[in-house]
Amino acid sequence: MTLKPGSTIGILGGGQLGRMLAIEGARLGYRCVGFAPEGDNVAAPVCDDFFTNDWSDRPALAAFAAQCDAITLEFENVPLAVMDALPSDRLFPPRKALEVAQDRLAEKRFVADLGGRPAPHAAVDSRADLVAAMEQIGTPGILKTRGEGYDGKGQWRLRDMRDADGVGAISQPAIYEGFVTFEAEFSVILVRGQDGAIRFWDSSRNIHEDGILNASVLPAGEMVERQVEEARALSRQVADALRYVGVLTLEFFATKDGPVFNEMAPRVHNSGHWTIEGAATSQFANHMRAVAGLPLGVTDTIAPQLRMENLIGAEANTAHELLGEPDVHLHLYGKAKARDGRKMGHVTRITRA
């Protein structure tokens, strides 16, 4: 399916990723229509139309779908019931990708079945399960909700059994993971077209603070570079197994024994924001190309050194001062209220010499 200019692409979700997707859709000559519940939907100002309705509003979903020649998403927590209410032949990526990514246990099992190596883990549905998991896997570890949660939310670091006492009752399905000793964290970001063609961007080294991505850096360093090919091979298997279309991100730990899978995101990704200025074709442009059935663009990195930094909370208030620095590219997302831990924008610094 190839969309002609003037066709409409629907975007589920109204955040900054949707905003940047809609901007690229416009560059390609497409209308973009968004759908998300009421909130700070920063994608709305750059969309041709925007539905501010609850995910359970079936008439609104039907009206949204009636406008769309293809439908994509900007975050992985779109309810599966929404995907079921939309025409499957117009959904990119497919429902299966969300089904896997929305459950951390299912995600790890899916990757393990393909030969990948996730962190040691166990399902936790009760207090007794948690105690058993900590005894079996050991401490320290991390307890995570199986669904929802991002940027450190829905996670509890447990150093020993005494920390488990602070968690309280297990009120929703969870997973306990043993800590992985690693040298670096990195992303494999790929795009897969409707014809099955796959292209990879260079992998950045990702630096986190308090569970939130602080910076992505290229080159990623020797250890990451030695492990990228193995991580790419697994990522290709995941994309092919899901019959994926669009940009897919898998995050890994670089360890002395090779890459360990952390998690996947069936969407464009924060650690790929550097591609806007730093790659021949950005992740946003290639995602929209894939959704529209167009040829994929080359993904070569076009600068020897890059650093993407997130602007968190009040950091965005003085962001314009950064424009006085050479080769700095600023993106503010238009969010109304800055608060601790909230991504308000990002800046990419390019070193060309």
Q: Is 4 annotated as a binding residue?
A: no
Contact call for residues 188 and 235 (beta carbons, < 8 A): yes
Q: Is 29 annotated as a binding residue?
A: no
Known binder of ligand: residue 178?
yes
Do the annotations mark residue 151 as ligand-binding?
Answer: yes
Residue 262 is labelled as binding a ligand: yes
Please check if 194 is assigned to a binding site: no
258 is in an annotated binding site: no
179 is in an annotated binding site: yes
Q: Look at strands 49-52 and 70-73 and give their pairing.
A: unpaired
338: number of CA atoms within 13 Å, CB side?
A: 13
Task: Annotate 188-237 with DSSP letters as a single string.
Answer: EEEEE-TTS-EEEPPPPEEEEETTEEEEEEES--HHHHHHHHHHHHHHHH
Burial letters 150-180, b for 16+ CB under 10 A, else e: ebeebebebeeeebbeeeeebeeebbbbbbb
Q: Which helix (H) or strand (E) segment is 336 a member of?
A: none
Query: What region, left, alpha or beta, does residue 327 occupy, with left being phi > 0 and alpha being psi -120 to 50 degrees?
Result: left
Whether 104 has a binding-site annotation, put simply, is: yes
Is 39 labelled a binding residue? no
Phi then psi dihedrals of residue 119, to 5 deg: -65, 155
149 is in an annotated binding site: yes
Q: Which residues are annotated as a binding site for ATP?
A: 104, 144, 149-155, 177-180, 185, 208, 262-263
Q: Which residues are annotated as a binding site?
A: 104, 144, 149-155, 177-180, 185, 208, 262-263
